[in-house]
Each structure stands twice: as structure tokens, then as C-alpha cells.
């Protein structure tokens, strides 16, 4: 079964030691059976264990309404709702610098729909950008299994084009021109920090 | 009603537009009736709206086990458990730099118990420290309504003293000597970034 957050994002129950559920549809791609989120978690784990960066996915925000306290066992949340996240999903530190990003995917082959992003996320990324954080989005074209790093400054241009009446998506060739292709690797799987490193240190030479 | 996370941290249900509950005991202090978390949220809101920094509290990590989908209304989480957080509670960006901290309080007057911190949090802060992030703890002595900024490097010394058989707390005078008093203000309430700014920019002069 598949359901959605208020923001239209798919929810995937993480496997639990408490109780295993198998009713979660895994959006598998390529031959690897990994979701975008799993790929990024693996990538971040690689960065962490190799001392390259400390980047984590934030927990899913939940509005807790009712909690029970069985004797001698853990508190059980009996009623809760998904909340709209007020920030992006991923943030952390790379060589002292603040890193912040959101990862989204599409099955479209020729463009990336801007409806994947939400106003509050754009607002958050703008705030981070003004605070000189490294902020970007990772776009996945699932049909061709391609990943792109798009700096927030470019995303904002396309976003503003949309809100002033322009097209509601970024064409594939605009993504190619304004973004950076992230080659898929074995480990790390999606080495986005290579792009970050290039942008911070090498493009200033 | 008051309950605790697996990590011993108090849980406070946030007020919800969905359903209001008043059974959450508010730990009020001073004459202001504000909790440490509320004070920090207000402080971070001040920083955000004034363009000073982008710092957010991370959502409470929850292990979702069962979700119901009533027709024409929001998905309801029917069974979930509190998870041990793998990081600190607060992080964000200040002038491009990564900020990461945890806030804790004690009713003790003469020392701050180290059991307030957990191994995985110390581990996370160590990783951030090695990645050159600005990492610290905010300690509140509730009896005297005093706030201190203690750099992680100092906390680590006291932590290591404990695990090598030494005392299980930091004495008040050690906090005073190794930390920085944060004066309480009206707005922002707990201006910890003043200390951050001093440490980053002024102490290097």
C-alpha cells in the first residue's frame, strides 16, 4: 500500500525490529532494487564512516496526539498525523560548511515537474542560500537512471519563471545546462559531494 | 501527564490544530512559563525572521508501524514508537558555517550530570567536531535560571574523565571556567549565536 504526505511525498515505512510489515511498496529502479532515499542513506553512511562528511536525513515530522503507557514496556503512540516538513530532508556538514538539500525524482523523460517542490521548501532553501549555506537539489530521472545536482540558485530561476506564468517544469536540457550530472557509483552510490567540492574549492581557482 | 523517551528525555506534545490536548504538563520555570525548548524555538525564530541564521529543531524520530487511511481524510498513524535520536536536536547555518548543538537542563545547583548526554550524541558531536562544524551544548541550571554555552571540546574532556573512572558530572565551577554564560534576553531569549560569533570571529583576532 502506498500513501502520501500532505505535501504529496510518498511515505515509506522503515523496517522495524518491533514489528515487520511487508505491505510497503518498494519503488525499485534499475536492477538494484534501491530507492532514491536508500541510495542517499547509503551514500551518507559511506561519507560518515570514511570521515568525509556528516549528513543525515531528518526524521519524518509527526504530530503526536495520543500516547499510551503500558506497564513495563515502551510508550506506544496511538494517534498521530503526518506534518508538512518545514525544511528540506537532508542537511549536515562538509569541511565546516553547511550542506542542505532535497532529493526528488520523476518518471518523465523530457522534463522535471516543479510541483515536486513545495513553497515552504523553496522558502527554506532561499533562507539557507542567503545564509551562505551550500544548498541544492538532487534530481533523479528514473526512466534513464540519471542523477543531477542542480544548485538552488538555478532552481530558483525556474521556480520564478513558473510563478510569473511560465512553464511548470524544467526541461531536461535546462537541467543538463544548469546542473551537474552525478555519475552512479558502487560506493558511494551517488557521490554528490564531489560536485559540492568542485563548486566550493575548484570553481574559485 | 509526563512521560519519557527511551533516552530519558521528556516528551511534550505540541499543540495541534487537529485536536487539542491539555494533559501535557508544562515544565514551567522562572515567571515566564517557558520550557527550554520553547525558549530555543523562539530564539531560532528570531534568528530566522531577522535573517541572522537558519537553525531548526529536528523532528522527534518515530518508528511508524501501523497507518490507517480513512476515506476523505488524513492518514492516521495508529501504532508508532519513539526512537532513540541518532544526532543532536538542533542544527543549521550561520554565515555559511555549520552549527550543531544539544540543549539540556538540570535542577542540580552545584553540578551538571553527564547522564543527560548519551553515547550516540557524544559520538555524533565528535563526528561534527572532526568535520570542523561549530558544535556545543547549551546547559540550563533551572534552580538559578542560568544558561551556559559549553564547547564540545570541553564536554568531551569531562566525558572522557567519566569513562576513565572519574566523576559523573561537571561541577558548576568547571562549567563557568570552560563555558560561556549566555545572558537571558527578551528577544532573542537565549542569544547563543553571540557566543558562536565571538568564538568564530573575535577569538581569532
pLDDT digits (tens, 9 = 90+) for A72-100: 888 999 999 999 888 999 999 999 999 99
| Cα separation, A94 vs A116, whole angstroms | 26
Specify whether the backbone of B165 is left (phi greater than 0), alpha (psi in -120 to 50) or beta.
left
pLDDT band at B18 (very low <50, low <70, confident <90, very high): very low
Q: Which residue has the higher pLDDT, A28 or B188?
A: B188
Residue A80 with chain B: CB contacts under 8 Å: 62, 76-77, 80
| Cα separation, A122 vs B45, whole angstroms | 18
What is the pLDDT at residue B85? Answer: 86
B window 125-164, beta carbon within 8 A of A: 127-128, 130-133
| Percent helix / strand / coil, chain A, rounded to 5 | 30, 30, 40
Q: Residue A126: how many CB atoms within 10 A of its CB?
A: 17
Residue B64 with chain A: CB contacts under 8 Å: 11, 13-14, 60, 62
pLDDT band at A14 (very low <50, low <70, confident <90, very high): very low
What is the pLDDT at residue B17? Answer: 45
| Cα separation, A1 vs B25, whole angstroms | 37
Architecture of the domain whose range is B36-58+87-202: 3-Layer(aba) Sandwich (3.40)
Question: Does residue A34 carry a pLDDT above 90?
Answer: no
CATH number of A36-59+85-202: 3.40.1350.10
First to last CA, chain A: 51
| Cα separation, A3 vs B78, whole angstroms | 15
CA distance, residue A111 to nearest chain B CA (Å): 30
Instruction: Confirm or deny that A89 is annotated as ligand binding.
Output: yes
Question: Does B92 sit within 8 Å of A82, measured CB to CB?
Answer: no
Question: Does B65 sit within 8 Å of A16, measured CB to CB?
Answer: yes
What is the pLDDT at residue A71? Answer: 87
What is the pLDDT at residue A21? Answer: 42
Q: What is the mean pLDDT of chain A?
A: 87
Q: Where are the beta strands (DSSP E) in chain B?
A: 54-57, 62-68, 76-82, 90-94, 97-106, 111-113, 134-141, 146-151, 169-171, 180-182
B96 touches chain A (CB under 8 A): yes
Q: What integer is the mean pLDDT of A7-28?
A: 45
Question: Does residue A17 carry a pLDDT above 80?
Answer: no
Q: Domain ranges for chain A, please list them.
A: 36-59+85-202
- How many residues are present in chain B? 205
Q: Which residues contact A120 (CB under 8 A, 6 or more apart)?
A: A84, A85, A86
pLDDT band at A128 (very low <50, low <70, confident <90, very high): very high
Q: What integer is the mean pLDDT of B195-205?
A: 83
Amino acid at each position: 500500500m502506498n500513501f502520501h504526505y500532505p505535501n504529496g511525498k510518498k511515505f515509506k515505512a522503515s523496517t522495524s525490529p518491533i514489528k515487520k510489515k511487508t505491505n510497503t511498496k518498494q519503488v525499485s529502479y534499475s536492477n538494484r532494487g534501491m530507492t532514491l532515499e536508500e541510495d542517499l542513506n547509503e551514500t551518507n553512511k559511506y561519507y560518515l564512516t570514511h570521515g568525509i562528511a556528516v549528513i543525515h536525513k531528518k526524521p519524518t515530522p509527526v504530530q503526536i496526539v495520543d500516547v499510551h503507557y503500558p506497564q513495563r514496556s515502551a510508550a506506544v503512540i496511538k494517534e498521530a498525523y503526518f506534518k508538512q516538513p518545514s525544511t528540506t530532508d537532508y542537511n549536515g556538514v562538509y569541511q565546516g560548511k553547511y550542506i542542505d538539500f532535497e532529493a526528488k525524482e520523476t518518471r518523465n523523460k523530457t522534463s522535471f515537474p516543479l510541483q515536486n517542490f513545495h513553497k515552504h521548501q523553496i522558502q527554506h532553501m532561499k533562507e539557507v542560500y542567503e545564509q551562505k549555506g551550500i544548498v541544492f537539489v538532487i534530481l533523479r530521472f528514473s526512466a534513464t537512471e540519471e542523477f543531477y545536482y542542480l544548485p538552488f540558485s538555478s532552481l530558483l530561476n525556474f521556480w520564478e519563471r513558473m510563478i510569473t506564468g511560465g512553464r511548470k517544469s524544467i526541461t531536461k536540457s535546462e537541467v543538463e545546462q544548469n546542473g551537474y550530472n552525478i555519475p552512479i557509483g558502487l560506493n558511494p552510490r551517488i557521490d554528490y559531494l564531489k560536485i559540492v567540492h568542485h563548486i566550493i574549492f575548484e570553481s574559485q581557482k
